[in-house]
Structure 1
Amino acid sequence: MTRFLSHFLVLAALPFLFSCNQDTVEPTDASLALSEEARTAACTEYSYFNKFEGTVTYSKAWGQLVLVGFAEGLSQQDKQQLLAGFPVVDSLEGEVFTEAGVVTMVRLNPGSTCFEADKLRKALEKYPAVQFANPVFDPEVYNADGFAWVGVSSEFLVSIEGSGTLAQLEALVNQTNTKILFSFSDDIHILTADKNSSGSVLEVVSFFNRQAAVTVAEPNLIFQLAPELNQMARKAASQTITSKAAFLRKHKKIK
């Protein structure tokens, strides 16, 4: 009965979830007047501050994919209906499952640039049915490491080992309007940030790294494994992984 009721409430809320001024979708005259070079130059260069490593720089957004977190219970048909209002969207490419929920990979039209990707992300987050829309970074930067692309999930990992208390962490969570999803121990926690948080995931991670109560915080990145030339390895070519395990290994929580 509870499951049925939750689905009913989602269906009843769909008109509200989809409601948004479609003027936000169409490019402005000013953006159309810009050359492709000027548009690309205006793209965000993504980075965050790490307490141990300093500024960690990724790259500008890749113009082919955006990672989107939709409202829980939204069907594929409903997602497609919402995205139909965006001519730059080509298709739904697949899903990645995280502690925070499903992350949908949205494919943009061939030839789209970081400008279109950034614009789409900002427009999508104006819809109540979208919890977040995060960037995927230029794959050429990561091909040498065996990844087809690297993107930002809504999750980040925080260690307070030797630095702070759970009460201090909870105070930071309240301050940033984030959420603790899971605790691996008293010291290691996985949190999530969405469009209603005090900033983007990378901005929130930077904030946490500047707090004395935090040992270190890192975004839980999503990695798409690059296609292998070896026919025997093709099964792994479509797999996605996250940086969570690497974070835990660094903090000696996984042997």
Structure 2
Amino acid sequence: MSAAARETPRWLAPAPLWTARTVAAASEEFLRPWIAELRTDSFLADFLSIVGGTDGRSPADLPATLPERSDEDGSYRLFPSHSRRYYLVLASLVCHRPGIPDHTVQPALGERALFVLRRIRQGAEKGFVPSATDTGTWQPATAHALVPGERELPLHRAPVAAFAAPGTAAATLGMAAGQPSARTVRYGYIPVSGGDTVADDVTTTYVIRAVLVRDPCAPVISAPTQPFELAGPLDPDAPRRPSAATTKGPTS
């Protein structure tokens, strides 16, 4: 297949979160990747059980993984792993046509799935470029391209179990309970090592963008996640605080 003949994929929220409300309106939450917070050392197995519908879990449980929000501006707060908080970014990669079927990454065509962490300061987006001689630098970035040398973090593929009730948007879009599921999600581990190290009083937040590299074509870059802050250590046994706004599961 020539580069010119390729279909253009797009990134959406992870498939278990698709509802009639978000899909029909092409809402902001439908178009952006999701950040999941998990609270056990077996977080990866727990996540795979949720999306895979095993061990008494279901993809419908995914909305309960919403991270804690800041009381000041509503951004998420991400705590370091020694606080027993672990974070994954999730998204679905689909084809831009009716039924929005999954897009299969094709390495033979120069495709690979990844995500990048972007810093937002004073309204400007920057990507991190590591260096062999120092800690690296944050370079000006855009929503449409990778920064040369920008740190890339991998996205992995996981199947989504068939779980949705008949007549719901999720069922119509390939996740009907009792039927073979046609959906997968892409997930990646977000490395959170500690609180923000910026020494001045300028507010620093971060977002994540999922990326499909398509050499030699331009990359397909997602909308940003909900903004988040890097918080300091937290009591690992602290109860989960309810979020001010939680995306509802596919019940309509």
Same fold (TM over 0.5): no
Q: Which one has a larger percent helix, Structure 1 or Structure 2?
A: 1
TM-score of the pair, normalised by structure 2 = 0.27
TM-score of the pair, normalised by structure 1 = 0.27
Higher relative contact order (CA 8 A, sep 6+): 2
